[in-house]
Amino acid sequence: MWRTIFPEQENPVDRHQWNIGSVVPRPIAWITTLNEDGSVNLAPFSFFNAFSSHPPIVAVGIALKPDGSQKDTLLNIERTKEFVVNVVSEELLYPMALTSQPFPYGVSEVEKAGLTLIPSEKLKTPRVKESPIHIECELLEVKQLSDRNFMVIGKVVVWHIREDMLFKGKRPDPRRIKPVARLGRLWYATIDDNNLLEVPVPSGQGIGIDALPRFIRDSKILTLNHKALLGMEPEPPSEEPVTKEVVETILQANNAKEEVQKYIADLIEQGNVQEAWRVIRFVEKQVC
Ligand SMILES: Cc1cc2nc3c(=O)[nH]c(=O)nc-3n(C[C@H](O)[C@H](O)[C@H](O)COP(=O)(O)O)c2cc1C
C-alpha cells in the first residue's frame, strides 16, 4: 500500500512536513551575517546544500517570517552580498536550536548561544569559532521562488576546517566532524562509526544483478545490497575458493542451499566479495 500526496491538496503545515520528511537528511547551514549596526546575526537553515564544485556553489532556501516580514539573514545577505555557513556539529545541536528563535533584529544570537566570533579571511562577516567548518560565501543571486520563499545562491570563496577534523590530514572526516542533519518532525541525525558507510568504487563496468546466477538472483537470503556488490564486479573470479573446505562442509548439510547463501552473504558483509564469487562459482552446479 502506498500513500500518494499532492502538494496542492495539503494544508501548509502538512505540506511542509511531507517536504522536510521526504528530503532527508538535510545538512544545516548555521549562517552568520552582518547586521546594519555591525553586530552579527546567526540562524540555522536546513533548506541548504552544495550544487556544484567548479566553482563551488551553495544555496539556501529562506522563507518569510510568520508575520510576513523578511528574516534578518536574508535582509543582511541582500545588503552585504555575503554570508558565512558554519557547520553544526553534534555538540552544537542545542545552541543551534536556540538561535532559531525569533530574537528581535539587533539581538545577538551569538551571545545568547554562548558562542565566540572570529574574523573571516575574505569577508567582513565573522565566523563561529566553536563550529568545525566555516564556508565563506559571496552572494551570486537571490531568486524569488514564491511570494513567501527565496533562494540565496552563493559562491564559496574560502573554506576553513579545523586540523583535527581531517582524515589522514587531508580530507574532512565525518566521524570527527559529527555533522548534524535535519530530518522530518523534530528529528535530527549525526554520523558516527556505527552509521558511517563506505561504498567501494566499481573498478569497471560491473556485470549487473541481472547477470548473476539464478540461485543468487532469486535468493531471499541475499539482500539487494549483497546482490549489487556482486554485480559491481566486471570480471568475477573463477578459481576455487580459499575457504573450499568450509564450503564442502556446508554442502553436506540438509539445507545446504540456504546455508551456502548465508555463507556468501557473510563473506560479502565482511568485505570479501571476491571470495563470495569464488564460492558462487564453486557451488553453482551443485545447488541449482
Ligand atoms: C534546524 C533548523 C532548520 C531551519 N531551516 C530553515 C530554512 O531552511 N529556511 C527558513 O526560512 N527557516 C529555517 N529555520 C528557521 C529559522 O532558523 C528561523 O526562522 C530564524 O529565526 C531565522 O532567523 P533570522 O530572522 O535571524 O534570519 C530553521 C530552523 C531550524 C531549527
Ligand 1 center–CA 130 separation, angstroms = 19
Count how many Cα atoms sit within 13 Å of the Cα of residue 137 in the half-sphere of its side chain.
Answer: 29
Of 171, 173, 175, 195, nearest to 183 (Cα)? 195
Tell me what pLDDT residue 105 has: 72
Judge: domain 7-189, CATH 1.10.10.10. Answer: no
Which of 33, 41, 45, 107 maximizes ligand 1 atoms within 8 Å of its Cβ, making it the mutation to test the pocket? 45
Which residue has the CA at smallest separation from atom 26 of ligand 1? 72
Kindly state the cell numbers that stand for 220. 531471499
Find, among 58, 49, 33, the residue nearest to 110 by Cα.
33
pLDDT at residue 285 greater than cutoff 90: no
Tell which residue, 131, 142, 119, has the closest CA to residue 29. 131
Q: Look at the pTM and tell me if it is higher than 0.85.
A: yes
- Position 40 pLDDT exceeds 90: yes
Q: What is the pLDDT of residue 102?
A: 82
Encode pLDDT of 56-102 as tens digits: 999 999 999 999 999 999 999 999 999 999 999 999 999 999 999 88
What are the residue ranges spanned by the domains of the chain? 7-189, 209-287
- Ligand 1 geometric centre to CA of 44 (Å): 5
Averaged pLDDT for residues 184-190: 96
pLDDT value, residue 288: 61
The answer to whether 16 touches 36, Cβ cutoff 8 Å, is no
Give the side-chain half-sphere CA count within 13 A for 167: 8
Over residues 23-44, the mean pLDDT reads 96
List ligand 1's pocket residues with C-beta within 6 A: 28, 41, 43-47, 61-63, 71-73, 97, 100, 102, 182
Q: How far is the CA of 62 from the centre of ligand 1 (A)?
A: 7
For helices 256-269 and 273-287, give the axis angle rounded to 10 degrees: 170
Match 556468501 to its residue by C-alpha cell: 264
Q: How far apart are the first and last CA of the chain?
A: 34
In this prediction, residue 218 has a pLDDT band, given cuts at 50, 70 and 90, of: very high
Q: Round the average pLDDT of the chain to a whole number and report it.
A: 95
The residue whose CA is least distant from atom 14 of ligand 1 is 45
Confidence of residue 201 (pLDDT cuts 50, 70, 90): confident
Ligand 1 centroid–CA 192 distance in Å is 26
pLDDT digit string (tens) for 235-266? 999 899 999 999 999 999 999 999 999 999 99
In the reported structure, the alpha carbon of residue 42 is separated from the centroid of ligand 1 by a whole-number distance in angstroms of 10
State the pLDDT at residue 204: 87
pLDDT in tens, 149-175: 999 999 999 999 999 999 999 999 999
Q: What is residue 78's predicted lDDT score, i.e. its pLDDT? A: 98
The best mutation among 31, 80, 100, 101 to test binding of ligand 1, ranked by most ligand atoms within 8 Å of the C-beta, falls on: 100
% of the chain beyond a pLDDT of 90 = 91
Q: Which atom of ligand 1 is nearest to the CA of 74?
A: 27
| pLDDT of the residue at 103 | 83
